[in-house]
Structure formats: structure tokens, C-alpha cells
Amino acid sequence: MAFDGHLLSPVVNALTVDVEDYFHVALFEEHISDDRWHSMEHRVEANTDRILELLDQKGISGTFFILGWVAERFPGLVRRIVDQGHEVASHGMRHRRVTTQSPEEFLQDASQCKQMLEDVSGTAVLGYRASTYSIGRDNLWALDVLEQAGYRYSSSIYPIRHDLYGWPEAPRFPFHPRQQAGRGDGLLEIPVSTLEWFGHRLPCGGGGYFRFYPLFFSLWALRHLNRSEGKSAVFFLHPWELDPGQPRLSGLPLKVRFRHYLNLARMETRLERLLVEFRWDRMDRVFAHWLGKEVGG
């Protein structure tokens, strides 16, 4: 049962969607080369439209970190996202981890995606999210590159320990990396949400964890962030997570199959519960005071 409106926390959370198709995920990098992407069944448009429909039904706006590869092929989808009042942000061109790119390559990729999304959407693109949260302790130069490319904020650091990504010592809430180094404000980094519990840092910002955890735990963790800490959560999902009918790729290791396909059939119901039990909005509006001026149309 959803809470009545008067029982909702006054804290507004940021709902984010990483707009990529099922074959773009990092778990499949060793199994599907990017030269095969064009021949795969494309399901990202229909799956993203389903998310747009759910958000429209609830009167919720969010931020869509769109892969340039997707925007090139489905410009109408980008325009629908804007027309429904959502924020368009960048997810890079081809879902390459920042750890595999030189600063020069990363600047070109981030700049190209920003310009293309702005041309297609007709709106300014302020935010960036790295593929597989691949910015951390060892490549913080990437945040300076993003600022050079004209971005105002990043949501590319997941302050947890994980075999594919993570910087467990990173701040849990928005911070200016330059400010921490005594170099002024600069780009704002907005980490995905975590929970500190008896000395352990637990991920609670969505993705595979939201499908793996019991639903009651995810709801409790976000309520704790809102009510006990008074902080806005940053939650993310992918369009393919609402698609239990997606093609099942053969030859995948058991661990990869478990992570990717777990509880896909339950995801939409869980998401609907999440949408009604918390307050949600776009990243640029939730964190407008951090960004230093009025943003978000």
C-alpha cells in the first residue's frame, strides 16, 4: 500500500534513467563487440517510452542520461523526453568506460555527445554520467575534462566497493572536487545514493541492487536517507530492466546471467511502488542550490 501524500517526506529525490539498450551493458563487453550492435534487436525506444508513460501517469519528471549511440538512431525519442518535461543529460557516445580512454579521447567523446544532444533536444545539457560509473580515485582528471567540455555537473561516482566500479571512500553526497583540493568550486559531482549502517556502506541507489534486494529494504533505506539524514536520494534505472522479454543471449557465464536477468519481471511493479512512496524530480532542479543558479525548466 502506498503512503498518502501527507505522509511523504518533504525531501525531493532525483530520479534518473540511463538510456541504453540491453546489449550496451558492461557485463556484456566481452561477449558482444560494438561492431555487432547495429545487427542486434533494438528495444531501447519502446522500453524508454514505457518509462515515460509511467512517469506521465504519476506526474513525475526525471533526468535521462542518454547514450549518444541511442540519440543518433532515435532522435524522436530524445524530443519526446524533452516534450514531457524531463531533463536530457549525457551518457557519452558509445558506452566506453572512462578508464579505457585517454584525456583527449574522453574530451572528444564527452563534447561530441553534449553537442549532439543539445542539437537534437534544443535544450542545454548540464549533466554527464560515465559509463559503468567509471570515474573514481584514480582518474579524477576526468572531472576537469567534463568541466572543460562545458558540463555543470557529473553523476559518475558510486561511493561503494564493487568489482566493476566504485570509490568507497568518496563523499556520499554532492561535492565540488576542486573545492576539496583548494582550487575553487568548478564541476559538481552528485554521487549515486548509499547508506551508512553500523560502519558499512550499502548501495541503495538502484540498478541491479534494487532488483536484488527485497523491496522493503530499498524502501526503508531511501526513507532513512530522507527522514533521518534529511538528504535527497539519487536513484537510477535502465530501460532494459523493465523488459523481461528481451533476447536472452547464449553462452554467458552464470554470474553474468544472474546479474543481468535477475527479477526483470518484477521491476516494473517495484518501480511503480517507488514512484508513489517518494517525491521525485529532475537532477537539475533537485540540486539547483548546489549548482549555484536557477536551472531546470
Set out the domains of the chain in order of their start, with CATH numbers. 10-291 (3.20.20.370)
Q: State residue 111's pLDDT score.
A: 98
Task: Please check whether residue 126 is in contact with residue 144, taking contact to mean a CB–CB distance below 8 angstroms.
Answer: no
Q: State residue 197's pLDDT score.
A: 87
Tell me whether residue 45 is exposed, middle or buried, using C-beta atoms within 10 angstroms of its C-beta: 0 to 12, 13 to 18, 19 or more: middle
Taking the CA atoms of residue 30, residue 35, residue 38 and residue 41 in that order, the dihedral angle to the nearest 10 degrees is -20
Which three cell numbers, joined as nine digits, stand for 262?
535477475
Look at residues 104, 105, 95, 152 and name the one whose alpha carbon lies nearest to residue 128.
Answer: 152
Q: State residue 293's pLDDT score.
A: 52
Tell me whether residue 182 is exposed, middle or buried, using C-beta atoms within 10 angstroms of its C-beta: 0 to 12, 13 to 18, 19 or more: exposed
Q: State residue 2's pLDDT score.
A: 40
For the chain, 297 residues long, give each residue's pLDDT as a single digit of tens: 344 444 677 999 999 999 999 999 887 887 888 889 999 999 999 999 999 999 999 999 999 999 999 999 999 999 999 999 999 999 999 999 999 999 999 999 999 999 999 999 999 999 999 999 999 888 999 999 999 999 999 999 988 776 666 678 889 999 998 665 555 578 999 999 999 988 889 999 998 989 999 999 999 999 999 999 999 999 999 999 999 999 998 888 999 899 899 999 999 999 999 999 999 999 999 999 998 754 444
Q: State residue 161's pLDDT score.
A: 72
Q: State residue 273's pLDDT score.
A: 97
Please tell me the pTM assigned to this model: 0.93
Task: Give the separation between CA 113 and CA 197, rounded to whole angstroms.
Answer: 38
Task: Give the separation between CA 190 and CA 175, rounded to whole angstroms.
Answer: 7
Cell 580512454 belongs to residue: 101
Q: State residue 183's pLDDT score.
A: 55
- Cα angle: 40, vertex 45, 49; to 5 degrees: 150
Q: Torsion-angle region of residue 79: left (phi > 0), alpha (psi -120 to 50) or beta?
A: alpha
